[in-house]
A and B are shown apart, each in its own frame.
Chain A
Amino acid sequence: MRRWYFLAGIALLILSACSKADSDAFGGNEDRTGNPVQTYMLALTDELAASALEELETALRADPNALSSQAFYLMQGNLSQTGSTWVLQRECRLKGLVINKLDGEVWKLDYDGDLSLQDDSYPTRFTIRAVRMDPQSSHADWTITLEGSRTEREGYACTFESDGSIRYEALSEDRLWYAYGVLQMNVTRNGTLVDQAFLSLNGPRNASGFVHKL
């Protein structure tokens, strides 16, 4: 009987040795399973690009033909209109987003202001050229090209650009979640290139691939 007590004590000692402080003891950055730079780039495709497409879809929802009659939406004060240009006025992440219709089912989105990505807000500029794949649907697939830049603290900045086009599949009314394409990003510090990264979007968010070139 004493032997079992002793062995049980040894087993508990071994289990205790495996315990380890939570490296998130302080909270904060919790993304330790994936590459954090990959997460940063996913935020560009999600919180930036997908959010911009959602704002565009919301503006178009009242009338699939767009710009022909947006009185209802304009009256709510969410958009201001000057000629063929809309500016998003709703209090949201992308307030100030400028929407222009180019031709047919092609829109151009421009943003230049402070933008919050993940936990931080910094001056960000981007341009999206968006093509709606199904003009009859109020929630269609979109194909975009994206290019932009972001200036952050301590001399850090990045420029990002889609390699060709990125396709967003509309699988739900609420979220443009499935994206296919490649996004590349250059990171500089005080003007010196420190990293070049490529994010390959393969549908579901967790299926994305990531490579550092430098």
Chain B
Amino acid sequence: MGMKRILLSLGLLLAAGALHAQAPHELHFGFSGPAAGYVHAGDFGPLYHWGSDLYSLYEGCEQIDAGPVFSIGYTYTLRGWLKPGAEVSWGCSWINRTQPRATQDKTVQHLMQNYLTVMPLVSLFAVDRPHFKLYGKLAAGGQLSFGDFEGTRFRPAWQVVPLGLQWGGEKLFGFAEGGFGNVYLVRMGLGIRW
């Protein structure tokens, strides 16, 4: 009887493996421009002077920029339409303080803040064809920021992707996502399945 149960369990596992024969593991490499929420107003504090008065012009920060966000994510196909996983993203923003009265813009001070976001996620697939997939995604986790502005800070992070696309081969594919949250508005990338 015990042997029958073992054999039955193995058979079920094999059957499950057969269902997931189309590579259940996915690894994504993506990057994006940062969402507006990626640059938190509080990060810059008193360094950034609003207004157009003389103090703002001669001592305020001239420009705040944020760079692209790089991400690595992993998902596992639990069912054809359901893929839970997690992703890690990194990006940075910086302030270039310039003297506006200079004949040429001159960086006086360069300050940088880094953002590391880790979020478990779940992807829900509406279309799951071998060469084209359509999905949505929900992610929530935390974001650690560290750098020149104010040291280290941790805050909750989230990301909603109403529309994601995957296209390509069974093992190598491209993807594009549009959404909103703490990490990105539009993200593109490449992924592999095995």
A residues whose Cβ falls under 8 Å from a Cβ of B: 2, 5-6, 8-10, 12-13, 15-17, 19-23, 25-26, 28-29, 31-32, 35-37, 39-40, 43, 117-120, 122, 152-154, 156-158, 187, 189, 194-195, 197, 211-212, 214
Please tell me the number of chain B residues within 8 Å of chain A, measured between CB atoms: 45
- Which residue of B58, B62, B131 contacts A194 across the interface (Cβ within 8 Å)? B58
Contacts A9-B188, A19-B33, A189-B58 given; does A31 touch B52 at CB 8 Å? yes
Q: Contact check, B167 vs A187: say whether CB atoms are below 8 A apart.
A: no
- Which residue of A22, A117, A158, A187 contacts B36 across the interface (Cβ within 8 Å)? A22
Contacts A23-B63, A189-B58 given; does A37 touch B100 at CB 8 Å? yes
Expressed in whole angstroms, the minimum distance between the Cβ of A20 and any Cβ of chain B is 6
A-B contact pairs, 29 of them (CB 8 A): A2-B131, A2-B168, A8-B174, A9-B174, A9-B188, A12-B174, A13-B174, A16-B33, A16-B188, A17-B31, A19-B32, A19-B186, A20-B33, A21-B33, A21-B64, A21-B66, A25-B36, A29-B52, A29-B56, A32-B63, A40-B57, A117-B52, A118-B53, A120-B52, A120-B53, A153-B55, A156-B55, A156-B58, A187-B54
Q: Contact check, A157 vs B54: say whether CB atoms are below 8 A apart.
A: yes
How many Å lie between the Cα of A117 and that of B95 in the bound state?
A: 27
- Name the residue on A nearest B48 (C-beta): A26
Q: Using a Cβ cutoff of 8 Å, how many contacts connect chains A and B? A: 128
- Which residue of A16, A40, A118 contacts B32 across the interface (Cβ within 8 Å)? A16
Q: Contact check, B93 vs A21: say whether CB atoms are below 8 A apart.
A: yes
